[in-house]
Amino acid sequence: MAAVTPMMEQYLRIKAQYEDAFLFFRLGDFYELFYEDAKKAAKELEITLTARGKGDDRIPMCGVPYHSSDQYISQLIEKGYKVAICEQTEDPAQAKGVVKREVVQIITPGTVMEGYALQEKENNYLLSVTPFEGNEFGLAGADMTTGELMVTTLADFEELINEMAGYRPREVIVPSTFSEEKQQLLERRLHVTLSFEDHTEPVEEAAALVDGLSDGKIKETCYQLIRYLKQTTKRSLDHLRPAVFYLPQEYMSMDVHSKRNLELVETLREKKKQGSLLWVLDRTETAMGGRMLKQWIERPLLNRQTVEKRHELVGALIDRFFEREALQEQLQGVYDLERLSGRVAFGNVNGRDLIQLKKSLEKVPDIFETVKSLESSFGNSLMEGVGDCQELRRLLEESIEEDCPVSITEGGLIKDGYSEQLDDYRNAMRNGKAWIAALEKQEKEITGIRSLKVGFNKVFGYYIEVTKPNLPQLPEGRYERKQTLTNAERFITEELKEKEALILEAEEKSEKLEYELFMKIREQVKAFIRPLQQLANVISAFDVLQSFAEVAERNRYVKPELKAEGEVDIRDGRHPVVEKMIDEGDYVSNDILLKDDRELLLITGPNMAGKSTYMRQLALISIMAQTGSYVPASEAVLPVFDQIFTRIGAADDLAHGQSTFMVEMLETKHAVSKSTRNSLILLDEIGRGTSTYDGMSLAQAIIEYIHDEIGAKTLFSTHYHELTSLENKLDRLKNVHVSAKEEDGSVVFLHKVIDGAADRSYGIYVAELAELPDKLISRAKAILKEFEQEQSDLKEHKNRVAEESIQSGQERTSFFGNEEAGPQQLSLFPEEAEAQEASRQLNKSQEKVLSQLSSANLLHITPIEAIQLLDKLQRNLNN
Ligand SMILES: Nc1ncnc2c1ncn2[C@@H]1O[C@H](COP(=O)(O)OP(=O)(O)OP(=O)(O)O)[C@@H](O)[C@H]1O
Ligand SMILES: [Mg+2]
């Protein structure tokens, strides 16, 4: 490379330290990017790529104006990149040689503090992972914008990923020694930016944050996170709250797939909030409440007492309409206290933020009053020990100007009367200005020029202006000429200049003083960060609970009764989201009873009947109940489920390199290996992804395993009607089906779940609904008829064979046990079933021969008898 200029040398030196970030290099009013950074940024930001220098020495370059840099930075952060901000750290006018520059902050997806990369009602988590001995991992999570800091340990990598997914992190920190394969898995499964930090030694100023943790290893995980935060933000971390240790087992556990499948906070395909459970439940008034609601939904509780407390306050809020309405109105006036405190600590708070803080605090006493009036013991206990921060409100009220500007350096921030010194400067300014205003009047009178005026501009300061036609009227030598315009002359006087100097000096001093005062006030506010965070916490909880109450009333939900015995008894249950998506009143409610001899339900029914909906309904109702919400039913008795497993829908993981069937089996493995008697398992058409024979066998084995080994409450939907015969074999399994009826040649889905197995499939009808070509449909109907005919012939033939074999005294062994007793499979294209039937016939005769052969006792048999046996077996085979 040719020799570079000293400034480029400086650039390259700094850039070398920030390889994985875009280096925003401050040059006057611009941030410039060079080389590869420039090429990539020009593409990502759609800005022009230019060049610096000439000929062979040309360096690719692009730049963004300093004043609008926020939007560009946000764009890069949103795309998962990091941006290192490199500022000029000395005044260019004073600099000898190249101006000193330094990276003052690295903005990353997990540490961003402002801009549209942040969503109001969403947390922005940065996670840190350290591998422990064995297979264990330490996990720490922080939201820099709210100051939360949470830590836990996980038993293995799968659990780690599941737990991490619950945070929906943007960025994850690992040590550089973290295995390559696991790094890739984290990136692929969580879609995160990976960052590295190898130091886990204690950070003195953060010791208080980890004091409460007993385990040394987990402290290291925290320090890894804190060190990274210090490195990147290069600011105070005062608003980080002391680390809270929790065990994932304190919450209902759901793996990543289950959460996605159940569409708890976003829809599966479009990743939208609309259509998710969160969307139905969110009537929160504040951003903080919105974030807390999302956290609650992601982590339903296991502690029955705590859940019941939430229900109690929701109940009180439902009963007291006026109080609820008042509370909602009061909450509407509360800004984002958590993020405001974060900005205070971070040092980027402005006057308007402090006004928001003040306005929020004004609402607090009213909110407390309203909650007190509910006479809810839980409501009262939430407020216990939480201050209302009115001292802070008073400080802000006395000090900060109501309509202050965004800038904190140009004055207009501090109220009159707050500082005597400032008042003096302001008086000087005002007196000077009053004097000038009086001057205009006085000079008009003296000169008789009615259009004479006193004005001000930044270059010339104050002046007296007289229009050209009036100039002859002006007494010679009265003013000093300063500037000539096309149709006017501007003048000054000695006295005017003196006053001007006074005014400008006072202005400058007052601006400086205001800035200093503002900084002091900010420091005072900093002392309130902890109380503010506590306050934010209870206000968020009130908000979520009023949201539950509002939603419950609007949608006619009821309070669920949680019982330790483990039974599920839901009357007229509804799917909270589906009922919102269809016309009001069209949703067909259903009971769900799971207890004693019906802990596993095998659900059959036509396509589109509502099997999947019924299953999800139970999961969602349970999750709602355990977050403290009321539920869509007329009555609901529920256990506290420790875990929910779902294998629902075709959430293909093709992007992650796994086939549909493999994903299905992995999820099923997860369900059968982790679930307990207190879990809920939902398996939707397991085995569908492979051949009928394989699929059915697996499905049956899975059901039997859950029934015999686990005893978890289970809903299992299937199109394999053979499986319905399991009811005879398994004590605690019952068949139910979703009903449909045929009317004038078309099918009516009743969506009603009733006991017993389904009798028909209606698959072709659904294809008809989907408007496949008429020709295709009628052909399918014809084929089906043929198959049905063949099948009944086959059955007849089989019955004959069976009768004959019964007559000949031979016992039957069947793959599916008592299959004659159960209904047959009603698949749309049953060629596979047919082949299977045939192969089963073959198997049976072979099996019989084999069993006779193996039971023959050769030690007590004569050669003649052996020949006879052989002959018999051969004849049996040929039969
Ligand atoms: N209880 C109900 N009341 C009203 N509409 C319902 C009800 N249950 C389901 N539906 C409607 O029927 C549609 C299909 O339901 P669902 O997907 O649960 O059927 P399915 O039996 O699982 O079908 P498939 O066998 O094809 O998977 C739903 O999208 C919903 O619009
Ligand atoms: Mg389905």
> What pLDDT digit, counting tens, does each position of 156-215 carry?
998 899 899 989 999 999 999 999 999 999 998 888 999 999 999 999 888 889 988 888
- Decide if pLDDT at 761 tops 70: no
Same domain, 130 and 242: yes
164 and 245 part of one domain: yes
Tell me, yes or no, whether 1 lies in a domain.
no
Residue-level pLDDT at 758: 81
Listed residues 75, 107, 139: the one ending a domain: 107
**Which pLDDT score, from 0 to 100, does residue 657 have?**
53
Average pLDDT along the chain: 88
Same domain, 134 and 100: no
Question: Is the domain of 826 the same as that of 862?
Answer: yes
Q: What pLDDT is stored for residue 821 in this prediction?
A: 40
Let me know whether 649 and 785 are in one domain.
Answer: no
Q: Is 43 inside any structural domain?
A: yes
Tell which of 227, 250, 273 closes a domain. Answer: 250
Residues 643 and 755 in one domain: yes
611 and 736 co-located in one domain? yes
- Whether 727 shows a pLDDT value over 70: the answer reads yes
pLDDT tens digits for range 36-64: 999 999 999 999 999 888 777 789 999 99
Lowest pLDDT segment from 86-100, 452-466, 685-699: 685-699
> Do 354 and 440 belong together in one domain?
no
Q: Whose CA is nearest to atom 10 of ligand 1?
A: 610
Q: What is the C-alpha to C-alpha distance for residues 21 and 80, in angstroms, rounded to an integer? A: 10
Can you tell me the distance from the alpha carbon of 9 to that of 12, in angstroms, rounded to the nearest whole number? 5
Which ligand gives the minimal distance to the CA of 604? 1
Single residue among 466, 499, 522 that ends a domain in this structure:
522
Is 605 annotated among the ligand-binding residues? yes
Residues 710 and 579 in one domain: yes
In a shared domain, residues 86 and 60: yes
Residue bearing the CA closest to ligand 1, atom 9: 610
Among the bound ligands, name the one nearest to the CA of residue 582: 1
CATH code at 644? 3.40.50.300
In a domain, 402, yes or no: no
| More confidently predicted of 537 and 820 | 537
CATH of residue 495: 1.10.1420.10
Please give the Cα distance from 240 to 3 (Å, whole number).
46
Taking the C-alpha atoms of residue 560 and residue 637, their distance in angstroms, rounded to an integer, is 6
Instruction: Note the Cα 455 to chain centre separation in Å.
Output: 57
**Residue 107: closest CA among 231, 240, 241:** 231
The HSE-up count of residue 298 (CA atoms within 13 Å, CB side) is: 20
User: How many structural domains comprise the chain?
Assistant: 6
Tell me, what DSSP letter sits at residue 655? G
Pocket (CB within 6 angstroms of ligand 1)? 578, 582, 586-588, 590, 605, 607-613, 738, 751
Q: Note the pLDDT tens digit of each residue in 608-633.
A: 889 999 999 999 999 999 999 999 99
Nearest atom in ligand 1 to the alpha carbon of residue 581 is 31
In a domain, 397, yes or no: no
Question: Is 711 flagged in the annotation as binding?
Answer: no
529 domain residue, yes or no = no
Domain assignment present for 724: yes
Give residue 839 CA to ligand 2 midpoint distance, Å: 30
Within a domain: 340: yes
Full domain range(s) for residue 311:
282-389+534-555
Which residue, among 366, 284, 309, has the nearest Cα to 548 in the 3D structure? 284
How many angstroms separate the alpha carbon of residue 614 from the centre of ligand 1?
8
Whether pLDDT at 823 is above 60: no
218 and 329 together in one domain: no
pLDDT over 60 at 220, yes or no: yes
- Indicate whether 877 belongs to any domain: no
Q: Is 611 annotated as a binding residue?
A: yes
DSSP 3-state assignment of 60?
strand
CA–CA distance, 217 with 200 (Å, rounded to integer): 10
Cα of 159 from ligand 1 centre, angstroms: 32
Same-domain check for residues 709 and 579:
yes
User: Candidates 591, 608, 768: which one to mutate for ligand 1, based on the most atoms within 8 Å of Cβ?
Assistant: 608
Q: How far is Cα 293 from Cα 541, in angstroms, rounded to an integer?
A: 8
Residue 601 Cα to ligand 1 midpoint, Å, equals: 17
CA of 610 to the centre of ligand 2 (A): 7
Q: Could you give the CA distance from residue 497 to residue 503 in angstroms, rounded to a whole number?
A: 10
